[in-house]
Amino acid sequence: MASTMSLDKHNIPPSALYTAATWQWGKLPGAELVTPPNARLVFRVMNAYSSLYRLLNPKWHSLKHTLLHRHAGIEHLLRESNCSQVIEIAAGFSPRGTAFSADPALRYFEVDLPPVVAAKRALLQSTAAGQGVLRRENFVLLEGDVTGMDWTKFAVSPSFIITEGLMMYFDRGVQMPIWRAIAEFLRGNRGEYVFDYLPVPDEPRRSVAGLLLSRMRGTQRRAFPQDGRNRYEIADDLRAAGFEDVTMHSSVEFASAWNLPHEMAHTRVILYRCRC
Ligand SMILES: C[S@@+](CC[C@H](N)C(=O)[O-])C[C@H]1O[C@@H](n2cnc3c(N)ncnc32)[C@H](O)[C@@H]1O
């Protein structure tokens, strides 16, 4: 796995724990079934740091609101898509599959690396409601690595493919083959691919104090391998990978246009919707 994502001692990314607690804070349906107990501590610590960071960088956005708009924005596009199969890659502790697979007409695959899939399965197994979700024939928890996916595991059917909170951890050399494989799958099945990515030119400017704090923490060397491509160059790469139709949606506009929760919160998310 060629990503820059950090892992805890159980091989679970703390970022997946933070997002899990965010979905529970946002009261997303099913979140109570798939939130690891240690996620709340990660959420509190990260929010304390985020508040300090925003004191120093007043233009910076709220992390939990940004994630909520990302998640709810993807769900808006999913509802619009009319696909009969969802393949959510890097699903982490997202409750989306748990909630959407309540509709038996929708086949829902959640894919992630083995330690995360094992932890999520154990969480679902620990409650009667979770066991009910695991028994659903249309809900499948699958171990898989996006950099070497076996696409034959999925049905031939119009598909909505999601990679949420993932592509920023890969550099362009890793992203391109992933996008080519997804485009090839969709050419044979129809459907669409949605993911989020915030290029450096779209980030809010850091203040001098904020830059100093980053330097002191050593975070000037970025956790994400950003390379300066702007959103239009990302869209060009997606077209080069085989998607014919690429549209971009910014939360600055869609949070209120799509009536998302906390629509007035200042957030920066760009969603890319790609079709063949
Ligand atoms: C930041 S978390 C986001 C989780 C989830 N999408 C959400 O928004 O709640 C990133 C997830 O990507 C998964 N991941 C990292 N590298 C992966 C890979 N090569 N293939 C599949 N999943 C991967 C991690 O295990 C983790 O669950």
Name the more confident of 118 and 201. Answer: 118
Distances in whole angstroms, Cα of residue 71 to Cα of each of 78, 79, 94, 178: 11, 13, 9, 21
CA of 100 to the centre of ligand 1 (A): 19
Sign for the pseudo-dihedral over CA of 165, 264, 101, 189: negative
pLDDT, mean over the chain: 91
Query: Which residue puts its alpha carbon closest to atom 20 of ligand 1?
Result: 145
CB of 255 closer than 8 Å to CB of 267: yes
Residue 254, token pair as written in the block: 């869609």
Domains annotated for the chain, with CATH where assigned, are 14-275 (3.40.50.150)
- Residue whose tokens read 């109570």: 32
Name the more confident of 158 and 6. Answer: 158
Cβ of residue 74 lying under 6 Å from some atom of ligand 1: no
Contacts of residue 221, defined as CB under 8 A and 6 or more positions apart, other chains included, come to: none
Give the tens place of pLDDT for each residue, 138-166: 999 999 999 999 999 998 999 999 999 99
Q: Indicate the SS3 state at residue 235.
A: helix
The best mutation among 5, 66, 162 to test binding of ligand 1, ranked by most ligand atoms within 8 Å of the C-beta, falls on 5
The best mutation among 7, 63, 113 to test binding of ligand 1, ranked by most ligand atoms within 8 Å of the C-beta, falls on 113
Distances in whole angstroms, Cα of residue 253 to Cα of each of 26, 80, 198, 235, 258: 20, 17, 15, 19, 9
Cβ of residue 1 lying under 6 Å from some atom of ligand 1: yes
Beta bridge partners of 270: 250
Radius of gyration of the chain (CA): 18
Cβ of residue 91 lying under 6 Å from some atom of ligand 1: yes
Separation of alpha carbons 65 and 63, rounded Å: 6
Cβ of residue 68 lying under 6 Å from some atom of ligand 1: no
Separation of alpha carbons 198 and 114, rounded Å: 27
pTM above 0.85, yes or no: yes
Cβ of residue 167 lying under 6 Å from some atom of ligand 1: no
Separation of alpha carbons 203 and 49, rounded Å: 18
User: For 188, phi and psi rounded to 5 degrees?
Assistant: -85, -15
Give the tens place of pLDDT for each residue, 8-59: 888 899 999 999 999 999 999 999 999 999 999 999 999 998 888 778 777 7
CA of 117 to the centre of ligand 1 (A): 10
Cβ of residue 19 lying under 6 Å from some atom of ligand 1: yes
Query: Which residue puts its alpha carbon closest to atom 18 of ligand 1?
Result: 145
Name the more confident of 215 and 43. Answer: 43
Note the pLDDT of residue 115.
97
Distances in whole angstroms, Cα of residue 57 to Cα of each of 54, 65, 198: 5, 16, 18
Name the more confident of 219 and 225. Answer: 225
CA of 258 to the centre of ligand 1 (A): 26
Q: Mean per-residue pLDDT for 189-205?
A: 87
CA of 212 to the centre of ligand 1 (A): 30
Sign for the pseudo-dihedral over CA of 55, 169, 80, 135: negative
